[in-house]
Amino acid sequence: MAIQLIECTPCFSEGRRHDVIDAILNPFRTTPGCHLLDHRSDGEENHLTISLAGRPGPVQEALMAAARIALETIDMNAYTGLHLGIGAVDMIPFAPVTNISMEACTTLARDFGRRLFHETEIPVYFFGEAAIRHERRCPADLRRGGYDLLKIEASAPKRRPDIGEPRLHPTAGATAVGVGKRPLYFHVNLRTADIAVAVKIAEAVTVHAGGPCHVKANARAIEDRDMTQIRFTILDPAVVPLYRILEMVRMEARGWGVEVALTDIPGMVSAGAFIQSAAYYLQAAGFHLDQVTELRLLAAMGDDT
C-alpha cells in the first residue's frame, strides 16, 4: 500500500539559545518515520523555522514532543526579538506531499490542534485550508500584532482562539495550526547600486502595482558588491511560479537599463515549483510531473517498498 507523506514547517519563538534549539530539534532527528530536512534560526529575529517531512503519525508524535520542550523552555513574557510570533510554538503548517488529499490534511491539522490543546493547554487558532473562521485563512492576519497584542485581545469575540478558553497560555501563548505550503523565498540580485531603482522594480512585481497576488518583496543594498537585491516571499508557489516573478523583474529592469546578476533560492522547495519553471523555459508545455522518475517512485513507495 502506498505511504502517505506530508510536509510540515513548524516555527518556534527561539532563535538564540542553542541548547533550547537543539532540544526542540531532537525529536525530529530521532523519531523514525519523521525526517528533519532543514532548520534555520535567526538571533535578531529570535525565531526557529524547521522543515520536516514523513508519515503523518510520526511527524505528529515528534511535533508533540517538540511542543512539550518548547512549553518547558520558552516564556513568551520574556521574549525579545523582531519576529512577532504568538507563542512558544508559533505556527504549525501541514502540507501534502504525496498520496494524501488536501481534505485529509485539513482533518489532520484539526485533530492535531485539538490534541495540542488537550495535552498542553495551549490554545489553538486554525489557518489556511484548516481555518474555521474565513478571516483566519491567512496566518498573518490571525497573528497580527504578535503575542503582546493577542494577549490583550484574545478575550474579544473576534480574536478568541478556535480551541481553548478565550485567553492565552500564561507562558506559551497560542499556536497557529493549519494547512499551508511553506512560502518560497527567491532573492534576485540586480546590477545596480541604486536602491531607489530596486524599490521601483520590487514594487512593480507585487500586487501594489498590478503584479501578482501572493507575493511580497523588499529591496535592500548589497553594499560591498555595488548591487541591490530584491527579496521575494512567494506565499503560494503553486499559483505564482518562479519564472513569472523572474521574467517580470527582467521586464521592469529593462526599463531602467538594469540586468539581473544572479538569483538565490534559500531553503527547501517542492519539485513542482522548479519543474513548472523548467517546462516554461524549455517550452515543454505538455510536460507532467508524473514523468519524473523520482516523483513517481516516491508516490509508488509503500509498506513493501
| Active site (catalytic) residues | 83
Minimal distance in Å, beta carbon 29 to a second copy? 12
Nearer to a second copy, 140 or 271 (CB): 271
Minimal distance in Å, beta carbon 279 to a second copy? 8
Contact 237, 184 (CB under 8 A): yes
The CA–CA distances, whole Å, from 124 to 10, 199, 203, 288 equal: 14, 37, 35, 38
Nearer to a second copy, 32 or 145 (CB): 32
Q: How far apart are CA 122 and CA 67, in angstroms?
A: 10
Nearer to a second copy, 143 or 182 (CB): 182
The alpha-carbon radius of gyration of the chain (Å, integer) is 20
- SS3 per residue for 66-105: HHHHHHHHCCHHHCCCCCCCCECEEEEEEEEEECCCHHHH
Sites of contact with a second copy (CB under 8 A)? 3, 5, 7, 32-33, 35, 37, 51, 53-55, 97-98, 242-243, 246, 260-265, 267-271, 274-275, 277-279, 281-287, 291-298, 300-301, 303-305
DSSP letter assigned to residue 2? B
Contact 139, 180 (CB under 8 A): yes
Return the ∠ at Cα 213 (arms to 208 and 217), rounded to 5°: 60
Minimal distance in Å, beta carbon 1 to a second copy? 10
Minimal distance in Å, beta carbon 256 to a second copy? 18
